[in-house]
Amino acid sequence: MPFDVNAIFQIAGIGIIVAMIHTVLKQAGKGEWAEWITLLGIIIVLYMVASYVSDLFQEIKRVFLFK
């Protein structure tokens, strides 16, 4: 299998952990910190997804557009 499926599990793990930290921080009364943690997680995941999207576009260009 040429592709790595690990990215899916990584993102799912980050999501679960972020949700957990969010809940714990909110219970501890630090709502603002919880929001920042959520934002940080979203930025990290967005970076991963963006690199994958760039990968996909390069591949499509290679196969279809530039002969």
Partner 1 sequence: MDIIQIVGLGLVATVLTLIIKEQKPMFAFMIAMITGIIIFLFLIGKIAEVIQILERMAVKANLNMIYLETILKMIGIAYIAEFGAQIVRDAGQGAIASKIELAGKVLILVMAVPIITVIIETVISLFPS
Query: What is the contact surface with partner 1 in residues (CB under 8 A)?
Result: 1-5, 7-9, 11-12, 14-16, 18-19, 22, 38, 41-42, 45-46, 48-49, 52-53, 55-57, 59-61, 63-65, 67
Q: Which tokens sit at 34?
A: 């919880």
Beta-carbon neighbour count of residue 18 at 10 Å? 19
* CA pair distance 7, 32, nearest whole angstrom: 29
Residue that is written with structure tokens 């530039």 in the block: 66
Nearer to partner 1, 28 or 49 (CB): 49
We find the least distance from the C-beta atom of residue 22 to partner 1, in angstroms, to be: 8
